[in-house]
Amino acid sequence: MAEILDYTIVSIILLAIGIYGLTVKRNFIRMLFAVEIIINAANLNLVAFSRLMPVPNSTGQTFALFSIAIAAAEVAVGLALIIVAYRIYRNIDIKGLKRLSG
């Protein structure tokens, strides 16, 4: 059984990869990938602390379930924004997306 420190370290590495993607990438869909990776790092932390605390606590798993559902909603809106941006600009390079008013 791995310790809680190992899980937090994996979670930090995933968070760092996500931050790298958000700062470097210019493609809208890649930035959405990075956001997904960051959300999963957070969920991993929640579940790891829920299981490996000195007294196990089911609240972490409940919050992870809520978090997954919210992330699904966020992805639906993000992909709709990508479709709108593509329809207006024929491109999803975020340097070109100066306005989304239509």
Q: What is the C-alpha radius of gyration for the chain, rounded to an integer number of angstroms? A: 17
- What residues numbered 65-94 form the site for other proteins, per CB under 8 A? 65-66, 68-77, 79-84, 86-88, 90-93
Amino acid found at 9: I
For residue 46 the two structure tokens come to 């929640």
Of 29, 97, 98, 99, the one binding other proteins (CB under 8 A) is 29
> How many chain residues touch other proteins (CB under 8 A)?
76
Q: Is 97 in the site for other proteins (CB under 8 A)?
A: no
Q: Is 27 strand, coil or helix?
A: strand
- What residues numbered 41-70 form the site for other proteins, per CB under 8 A? 43-44, 47-48, 50-59, 61-62, 64-66, 68-70
